[in-house]
Amino acid sequence: MRRRLRGLLGLAIGGLVLAACTDTLPQSSFNSAGDVAQQQKDLLIPIIVIATVIFVLVEGALVWFLYKYRHREGSEPLQVHGNSRLEIAWTIAPALILAIITVPTVSMIYALAKAPAGKSMTVYAVGHQWWWEFDYPDLNITTANELYIPDDTQVYVKLCAAGTTNSGTPVGAPCTVPAPAVGEAVVHSFWVPRLAGKQDVVPGRTNTMTIEANEPGVYPGQCAEFCGLSHAFMRFKVIAQTPTDFQAWVTNQQAEAPTPVAGSAADGGLQVFNTAGCIGCHTIGGVSEGIGGPNLTHFGARDCFAGCMLSVTEENLSKWLHDPASVKPGSFMPNLNLTDDQVTSLVAYLESLK
Ligand code: CUA
C-alpha cells in the first residue's frame, strides 16, 4: 500500500515537473510559437482553469460526503430528495458556465476560419497514406514531409486527402492536379501543435486553416487521425525561415534537379532510377514524371523521408530502398528487389539532389 502511494506521489510530482517545462516541449500546444496558436492558447487556459475549479469543487464535495455520510450503525442522513431550489441551481449553474465558454469559443472558430487578410501565402497540404505532400500553387513547387514557410506570415493551408475511394475513383482535387495517388483516400488530421490546433483532412472536401510562426525554427507536426497501418509514422516538419532564407529556398526548389557528373556513383544511380521502376511513381524535375509517390526533385536537401519517420542518412536510405515495407508497415512503395550495388548508387544519386 505504502509503495503504491509512493508511486502515485512520484507520478504526481513528475507530472508537475513536466508541466513546468513546457517551454522546451517541441509538440505542446502550451508552447505556442505563433499568433494563431497563441489566440487558441489564450482561450484554452481560462477554460482549463474553470474546468479545474469545477473538478476540485465537485470531487471535493463528493469525497467529503462519502466520508461524512459513510455507513455507521444507527445513522440515517437527512433526506433531501425533491429539493427544488437545489435542483434548479445545479441545472442553471452548468448551463451558465457552458454559455460563458461557448461564446468566445464559437466566435474564435469563425474568426480563425476566415482566409487571412494581411501578409499571407497559400499552400496545399495533401494527406497520403502515409506521408504529406506540400504544394505551393503560386510558386510552382511540390515537395514532401517538410513544409517551408516564411516567418511572421499567415500561411493559409488548404487540406486535401489523396488516394482512391472504395469505388476506385481517385480523389485529391482541388489540392492537386487530380493525380491517381497510391493508397486509399482516408481521413487524416493536420496538426502542428506549436503553430495551430488540429484540422481534419477529409477526402472529397477542402478544409482550410491558418498557421503562423513568429520566429524562424523547426516545428514538428503529425497526422492526428488514425488513417491506417502507418498512421503513427505520418509525421512532418514545418520549417519557418526569414523571408531572405525562404526566398533562397524557393529559388532552389524551382530549379530542375542537378545532373550528376557522368561516370560518378550518382550517375549510376540515375540510370537505376530510370530503369528499375522508380519513374512510375516519382517525379524528378527534368528527369521523370511519376504519379503517386513523393516528388524527389530536391530530395537531398531534405532532412527526413518516409513521412519524416527516418532522417536522410545513407544507412536509412539503404535500408528503405532494400525493402520499404519492412521499415514502414504497409508502405505502398514496393520492394523492387534491388541489388546492393543498385541501392548504393541510388543512395548517391538521391543525396546529390540538393
Ligand atoms: Cu494520416 Cu493518420
Asked if residue 77 is part of any domain, the answer here is: no
Q: For the segment 196-244, what is each residue's pLDDT rounded down to a tens digit? A: 999 999 988 899 999 999 999 999 999 999 999 999 999 999 999 999 9
Residue 311: all three cell numbers together: 532522417
Assess whether pLDDT exceeds 60 at residue 4.
yes
pLDDT of residue 178: 44
Domain count, the chain: 2
Asked if residue 284 is part of any domain, the answer here is: yes
Q: Check whether residue 55 and residue 201 sit in a common domain.
A: yes
Name the more confident of 83 and 167. Answer: 83
Confidence of residue 36 (pLDDT cuts 50, 70, 90): very high
Asked if residue 148 is part of any domain, the answer here is: yes
Assess whether pLDDT exceeds 60 at residue 41.
yes
Range(s) of the domain holding residue 339: 265-352
Q: Check whether residue 226 and residue 125 sit in a common domain.
A: yes
Confidence of residue 318 (pLDDT cuts 50, 70, 90): very high
pLDDT of residue 284: 95
Q: For residues 37-60, give the mean pLDDT.
A: 95
Q: Check whether residue 219 and residue 275 sit in a common domain.
A: no
Q: For the segment 266-290, what is each residue's pLDDT rounded down to a tens digit? A: 999 999 999 999 999 999 999 999 9
In angstroms, what is the span from residue 177 Cα to ligand 1's centroid?
21
Q: For residues 181-206, give the mean pLDDT.
A: 92
In angstroms, what is the span from residue 19 Cα to ligand 1's centroid?
27
Q: Check whether residue 161 and residue 298 sit in a common domain.
A: no
Q: Check whether residue 108 and residue 164 sit in a common domain.
A: yes
- Given 230, 248, 276, the domain boundary residue is 230
Q: Check whether residue 109 and residue 169 sit in a common domain.
A: yes
Rounded mean pLDDT of the chain?
90
Ranges 8-17, 87-96, 112-121: which has the least confidence: 8-17
Measuring from each residue's beta carbon to the nearest atom of ligand 1, which residues come in under 6 Å? 127, 130, 188, 223, 225-227, 231, 234
Assess whether pLDDT exceeds 80 at residue 23.
no
Q: For residues 125-140, give the mean pLDDT.
A: 93
Q: Check whether residue 280 and residue 187 sit in a common domain.
A: no
In angstroms, what is the span from residue 232 Cα to ligand 1's centroid?
7
- Given 204, 230, 256, the domain boundary residue is 230
Work out which ligand 1 atom sits closest to the CA atom of 188.
Answer: 1
Assess whether pLDDT exceeds 80 at residue 77.
no
Calculate what percentage of the chain has a pLDDT beyond 90. Answer: 76
In angstroms, what is the span from residue 236 Cα to ligand 1's centroid?
11
d(CA 38, CA 35): 5
Asked if residue 102 is part of any domain, the answer here is: yes
Q: Can you give the CATH number for the domain in which 127 is found?
A: 2.60.40.420
Closest CA to ligand 1's atom 1: 188
Asked if residue 18 is part of any domain, the answer here is: no
Asked if residue 5 is part of any domain, the answer here is: no
